[in-house]
Amino acid sequence: MRASATTSAPGRTAHTAHGEVQRKALVQAAYDLIAQGGFEHLRTRSVAARAGVNIATLHYYFATKEDLIRAVVERVHSELANFSAPPRTPLEELRVEFADVERQMRETPATFVVLFELHMRAMRDPVIHAMLSEMDTTFQSHVESYLADGVQQSMFRANLDVPAAAAILVATIKGSILQLAFMRRPFPLDRVAAEFERWLTGEPH
């Protein structure tokens, strides 16, 4: 399940099982601290302390701070790749979209916090940009795909501009996360979802 976990270069992946545990503990610690204080306040010493190891041990597993951050990026990536739900109708997909945001926000809001911190970094870090870009493309394509299905199945309006609608949906979800996770302001996810349904289905008025 985890990405590249079988090579043998020290500083990249661990040799032993215990080493892999240490690595994960360090990534988890970094992840937690970014969620708490953002990249701005991320300190390698804090990460090591939180993982219960010496600062030199951290550098045994991750040559540089940047390497550690990259591992965090991969962790977020895999965490958000759990959209592997069974196939549903386009309308169900739409509902699942908002339900997923709601659930993730309730269960692990930190993921979003880290994700958005990464967005700020993407501007300057090509590696992070590429990864976020890929995630974005995947997400956008997925939405466009089921929106197109919905139009084809006459479940959604015939004159729907699918790419534009997908862009709106994706942007709305990102915007809602911003509102919920960073501003801690209310966002009527359910009413927004309902309004989206009316809009896409073009229900009579």
Partner DNA sequence: GATGAATGAGCATTCATTCAT
Partner DNA sequence: AATGAATGAATGCTCATTCAT
Exactly one of 31, 34, 61, 128 binds DNA (CB under 7 A); that residue is 61
Kindly state whether residue 160 participates in binding a second copy, applying the rule CB under 8 A. Answer: yes
Q: Cβ closer to a second copy: 86 or 186?
A: 186
Cβ count within 10 A of residue 34: 22
Exactly one of 36, 55, 138, 152 binds DNA (CB under 7 A); that residue is 55
Query: Which of DNA, a second copy, none does residue 11 bind (CB under 5 to 8 Å by kind)?
Result: none
Restricting to residues 28-47, name those near DNA by CB under 7 A.
42-45
Retrieve residue 41's tokens.
């306040």
**Alpha-carbon dihedral sign for residues 41, 44, 47, 52:** negative
Which one of the spans 83-91, 95-103, 113-121, 142-150 is the region binding a second copy (CB under 8 A)?
113-121
Q: How far apart are CA 177 and CA 102, in angstroms?
A: 9
Q: How many helices (H) and strands (E) does the chain have?
A: 9, 0
Cβ count within 10 A of residue 126: 10
Q: Which residues of 47-86 are buried (b: 16+ CB within 10 A; e: fewer)?
A: bbebbebeeeebbbbbeebeebbbbbbebbbeebeeeeee
Query: Which of a second copy, DNA, none does residue 87 bind (CB under 5 to 8 Å by kind)?
Result: none
Q: Cβ closer to a second copy: 60 or 74?
A: 60
Question: By the criterion CB under 8 A, which residues form the site for a second copy?
Answer: 1-3, 5-8, 37-40, 45, 48-49, 52-55, 113, 116-117, 119-124, 129, 132-133, 136, 157-161, 163-165, 167-168, 170-176, 178-179, 181-185, 187-188, 191-192, 194-196, 198-199, 202, 205
